[in-house]
Each structure stands twice: as structure tokens, then as C-alpha cells.
């Protein structure tokens, strides 16, 4: 099954970021294919009270995937049972997250290096999920494509319908070169679609990722943080960056949505990192960024946005 048309840029699931307000910001700028935040299987299995909010799908969302991370069979089965009561277009199994709190549970990128167990658990999801199942993982070696190809084939045989591969090993986290040639080797050795991931920050890097990997679809992650306009840029060769007023307006709408979604106090607290992402790399002084770190209410938001507009 082909989920993404050629030359599509997909938005990755980002823990702590890709909630409903975040996705609506992306969709205002041309993103169709997006995911919930990465969901820990234990959170669903133990009925974490925040889980329903993390899984909320807007009535205006044309397509939405959910991503699950975990390595415990019982928890994965319970979590799939919960997810089956929701409305998603696919279920993605995370085998690439490198952060310590995931790694110490033997999940994410750690599980992605245990080929047999990763394939066994993915096959379990395939059997119990009412949604098509895909997987997102990382290259296993920078020098030798064989281990990554072996993993990809095992996941394909287990029932994965698409693979997304981040072109950096676990130890590199999110920095260093992206090894597109390893992803190209995987693409040549499996029959299912392969999506290239890693280092997509603008139109040029998106084009390079597709060309170097031979893939027809790429996935963006950190490159879209504070930059929902990335989805416009890859579609339009004549793209122009947002003006100061456009930047301020997007921040206002995005954080206003967060306040509506979470309530003023919680929404403003969660929004601080989002606001800082929008300002990063755009020449705003440290004093302004410091003010954002103490954002508490709508009045603060409006006051800071006035400073943003005066730049």
C-alpha cells in the first residue's frame, strides 16, 4: 500500500510537539501528512490521563497517523487495543528514538538494533491493529549497509507496509552527516516504499535527500520546528520567507490555539519552547527570548508579540 504520493514531505511524530495546535500550524502551510506525538505504550496501557489529549484528532485534519514506542509485549497489546478505538490512518512503530528515557526501556533505537525482536513485536502489532502498520527506524551502521538492509527485510516480512529510515546511527542523535547511501541500499533491497528522514531543513536539503537516497518521499522533523513554512518552501521554487508580521501572526494563532486546547496556564507553559523555536535564528535578542521563558498568560503573549512585530 502506498501512503504518500511522490514528492511529498511528511511531518514526523515529535514527542512534546506535534499535538493538535502544532499540526494545525503545519497544515496552514501545506502539510497534509502528519502524526500525533510519539506515544509510549505504557502511557496507554496504564491509562495516563494525558493520553486522550495527545491522541486528539481535529475534525479538520485530512490525514493523521499515530506512532507507538515500546518494547514490552503486554503493554504493546494493551496500547493497540486502546488505539483501535480511535480514528487514525495508520499506526507507526518507533524503532529509532535515541533519547535515554526510551533507550533504558529497550525501546526505540535500542529495539531497532535487535532485529529479531523488533520484527516479532511489529508482527504482533500487525496482527492486532485495525490500522495499517509502518515502522520508523535508523541506519544501524554508517559504513556497511548490510545490517540496516537485514533489519528492513525483517520488518517487511513481519508486515510493515512502509519504512521510514533516519540516516544517522543512534549515537549521532540528530547531528552529523546523513548517510543517504545506506537508505538507498535499503530501498533497492525491499519491495515496500522507503521514506528518507534526517537533515531536511529547506528545499535544497529536501531535494538532495530525495536525489541521494532515490526515495520519492521525505520526512521532516526538527527542520520544521519554528518553521511551518518549510512545507510551502518545498512546494514552491519561488518561496519567500515570512515577513515579521507573518511570523508574529503565526505565533499568535499557534499559541492562541494552545491556550484554547490546554487552558491558559498550562498552554502558556507548554508554549514557551514553541515560541522560542519561532524566534531561533531570526536575530531576536536574548532579552526577548528570556521574556518568552516566563510567558504566563495572554497578556504576556500580546506584549511580547508587539516587540516581535517592531523588529
Angle at CA of residue 110, ends 105 and 115, nearest 5°: 120
Say how far apart CA 187 and CA 213 lie, in whole Å.
8
CA dihedral 202, 208, 214, 220 (to 10 degrees): -20
The length of the chain, given as a count of residues: 311
Contacting residues for 184 by C-beta, under 8 A, at least 6 apart: 212, 213, 214, 215
Type and span of the H or E element at 307: helix 298-309
- Name residue, grid cell 501572526: 249
List of residues 6+ apart from 102 with CB closer than 8 A: 40, 69, 94, 108, 109, 110
Q: Could you tell me if 27 and 19 are in contact, meaning their C-beta atoms sit under 8 angstroms apart?
A: no
> Active site includes 97?
yes
Q: What cell does 73 get? A: 509485549
Among the listed residues 31, 97, 215, 268, the single catalytic one is: 97
What end-to-end distance do the CA atoms of the chain give, in Å? 48
Phi/psi-derived region of residue 7, left when phi > 0, alpha when psi is between -120 and 50, beta in every other case = left
* Order of strands across the sheet that contains 34-40: 8-11, 217-220, 194-197, 163-166, 133-138, 90-95, 64-69, 34-40
Q: Give me the active site residues, please.
A: 97
Amino acid at each position: 500500500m502506498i501512503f504518500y504520493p511522490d514528492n511529498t514531505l511528511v511531518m514526523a511524530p515529535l514527542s512534546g510537539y506535534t499535538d493538535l495546535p502544532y499540526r494545525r500550524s503545519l497544515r496552514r502551510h501545506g502539510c497534509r501528512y502528519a502524526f500525533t506525538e510519539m506515544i509510549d505504550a505504557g502511557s496507554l496501557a496504564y491509562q495516563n490521563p494525558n493520553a486522550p489529549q495527545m491522541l486528539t484528532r481535529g475534525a479538520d485534519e485530512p490525514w493523521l497517523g499515530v506512532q507507538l514506542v515500546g518494547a514490552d509485549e503486554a503493554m504493546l497489546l494493551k496500547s493497540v487495543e486502546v488505539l483501535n478505538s480511535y480514528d487514525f490512518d495508520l499506526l507507526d512503530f518507533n524503532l529509532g528514538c535515541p533519547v535515554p528515557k526510551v533507550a533504558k526501556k529497550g525501546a526505540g533505537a535500542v529495539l531497532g538494533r535487535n532485529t529479531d525482536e523488533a520484527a516479532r513485536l511489529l508482527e504482533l502489532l500487525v496482527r492486532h491493529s485495525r490500522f495499517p502498520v509502518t515502522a520508523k527506524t535508523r541506519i544501524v551502521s554508517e559504513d556497511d549497509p548490510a545490517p540496516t538492509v537485514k533489519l528492513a527485510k525483517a520488518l517487511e516480512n513481519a508486515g510493515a507496509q512502509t519504512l521510514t529510515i533516519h540516516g544517522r546511527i543512534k549515537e549521532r542523535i540528530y547531528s552529523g552527516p546523513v548517510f543517504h547511501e545506506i537508505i538507498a541500499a535499503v530501498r533497492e533491497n525491499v519491495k515496500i516504499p522507503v521514506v528518507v528522514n534526517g537533515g531536511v531543513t529547506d528545499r535544497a536539503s529536501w531535494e538532495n535527500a530525495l536525489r541521494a537516497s532515490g526515495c520519492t518521499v521525505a520526512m521532516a522533523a526538527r527542520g520544521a520546528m519554528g518553521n511551518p513554512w518549510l512545507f510551502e518552501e518545498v512546494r514552491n521554487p519561488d518561496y519567500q520567507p515570512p515577513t515579521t508580521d507573518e511570523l508574529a501572526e503565526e505565533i499568535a494563532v499557534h499559541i492562541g490555539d494552545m491556550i484554547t486546547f490546554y487552558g491558559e496556564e498550562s498552554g502558556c507553559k507548554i508554549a514557551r519552547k514553541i515560541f522560542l523555536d519561532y524566534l531561533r535564528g531570526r536575530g531576536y535578542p536574548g532579552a526577548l527570548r528570556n521574556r518568552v521563558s516566563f510567558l504566563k498568560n495572554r497578556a504576556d503573549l500580546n506584549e511580547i508579540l508587539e516587540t516581535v512585530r517592531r523588529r
